[in-house]
Structure 1
Amino acid sequence: MLNCTLIDDMLERYYLSPFYAIEFCVGFPGNLLVMLGYIFCLPKWQSCNIYLFSMAVSDLIFLCTFPRLTYLYSNDQSETSPYACVVNRYVLHVNLYSSILLMMWLSMDRFLLIKHPSRNHILLKPRTALIVTGLSWLMVNAEVAPMIDLMIQDLRSRNSSHCKDFASLKGDIDNLGYSLGLTVFGYILPLFGLCIFSYKISYLLRVQDRILPNRNTSFKRPLKVVTAATVIFLALYTPYHVMRNVRIASQQPWAKLEPCAKMYIEAMYIVTRPLAFLHSVINPIFHFCMGDKFRDLLLVKCRQLLRKTEQHREQT
Structure 2
Amino acid sequence: MVLNCTEIDDVLERYYLSPSYGLEFCIGFPGNLVVVLGYLFCLPKWQSCNVYLFNLAVSDLIFLCTLPRLSYLYANRQKETSAYACIINRYVLHVNLYSSILFMVWLSMDRFLLIRHPARNHFLLRPRAAMVVTALSWLAVNVEVIPMIALMLQDLQRANWSRCNDFASLQGDIGVLSYSLGLTLSGYVLPLLGLCGFSHHIARLLQTQEEAIRRKTALYKRPLRVVASAAAMFLVLYTPYHIMRNVRIASRQAWAGVQLCSRMYIEGVYILTRPLAFLHSVINPVFYFFMGDKFRELLLKKFRKLVNNKKTAKRTAVKNLQ
TM-score, normalised to structure 2, is 0.96
Query: Which residue in the other structure is 1:306 paired with?
Result: 307
SS in 2 for 1:163: coil
User: Which secondary structure state, in structure 2, belongs to the residue aligned with residue 43 of structure 1?
Assistant: coil
- Work out whether residues 206 and 213 of structure 2, in 8 Å CA contact, stay in contact via their aligned partners in 1: no
How far the C-alpha of 1:98 sits from its partner, in A, is: 0.2
Distance in 1 (CA, whole Å) between partners of 2:280 and 2:172 is: 30
Residue in structure 1 matched with residue 171 of structure 2 by the alignment: 170
Using the alignment, how far apart are the partners of 1:74 and 1:213 within structure 2?
Answer: 53
Partner of 1:64: 65
Match in the other structure for 1:294: 295
Do the aligned residues in 1 keep the contact of 2:53 with 2:292 (CA within 8 Å)?
A: no
1:285-312 Cα deviation digits (max 9, x unpaired) = 0000114611000001011111122223
- Equivalent pair of 2:17/2:74 in contact (CA under 8 Å): yes
Measured in 2, the distance between the counterparts of 1:291 and 1:44 equals 12
CA distance in 2: counterparts of 1:291 and 1:34, whole angstroms? 10
Q: Indicate the residue corresponding to 1:183 in structure 2.
A: 184
CA–CA distance in structure 2, aligned partners of residues 313 and 253 of structure 1: 71
SS in 2 for 1:268: helix
Residues of 1 paired with 2:146 and 2:276: CA distance?
Answer: 24
Give the equivalent residue in structure 2 for 1:206: 207
Partner of 1:256: 257
| Aligned-pair CA distance for 1:214 | 3.1
What letter is aligned with 1:42? L
Distance 2:287 2:216 in 1: 22
Query: Partner amino acid for 1:187?
Result: Y
Corresponding letter in the other structure for 1:244: R
SS in 2 for 1:172: coil
User: Counterpart in 2 of 1:8?
Assistant: 9
Shift of residue 313 of structure 1?
3.0
Deviation at 1:215, TM superposition (A): 2.3
What is the match of residue 282 of structure 1? 283
Instruction: Please tell me whether residue 215 in structure 1 is matched to residue 207 in structure 2.
Output: no
Identity of aligned residues (%): 68
Distance 1:293 1:213 in 2: 20
1:21 corresponds to: 22
Query: RMSD across aligned C-alpha pairs, in angstroms?
Result: 0.9
Q: Aligned AA for 1:64?
A: C
Query: What is the one-letter code of the residue matched to 1:76?
Result: R
Q: Distance in 2 between matches of 1:169 and 1:313?
A: 58
For each residue in 1:225-252, what CA deviation from the matched residue of structure 2 results, as whole angstroms up to 9, or x when unmatched? 0000000000000000000000000000
The count of corresponding residues between Structure 1 and Structure 2 is: 315
**3-state SS in 2 of match to 1:289:** helix
Where structure 1 has 5 or more consecutive residues not aligned to the other structure, the ranges are none
The CA deviation string for residues 10-38 of structure 1, in whole angstroms up to 9 with x for no partner, is 00000000000000000000000000000
**1:52 corresponding residue in structure 2:** 53
**C-alpha displacement of 1:160:** 1.0
Q: Name 1:159's counterpart in structure 2.
A: 160
- The residue type equivalent to 1:303 in the other structure is R
Q: Tell me which amino acid in the other structure corresponds to 2:130.
A: A
Distance change in 2, residues 1:164/1:213 (3 Å) = closer
Tell me the distance in 2 between the aligned counterparts of 1:269 and 1:214. Answer: 47
Return the TM-score normalized by structure 1. 0.98
- Measure, in 2, the Cα distance between the counterparts of 1:213 and 1:42: 28
CA-to-aligned-CA distance 1:120-162 (integer Å, 9 cap, x gap): 0001000000000000000000000000000000000001111
User: 1:37 maps to which residue?
Assistant: 38
Structure 2 counterpart SS, 1:29: helix
In the alignment, does 2:101 pair up with 1:100?
Answer: yes
* One-letter code aligned to 2:272: V
Q: Does 1:141 align with 2:133?
A: no
Please say if residues 24 and 282 of structure 2, whose CA atoms lie closer than 8 Å, have aligned partners that are also in contact.
yes
Q: Is the 8 A contact 2:49 2:292 kept in 1?
A: no
Structure 2 distance, partners of 1:94, 1:292, is 27
Work out the CA distance in 1 between the residues paired with 2:201 and 2:167: 36
SS at match of 1:199: helix
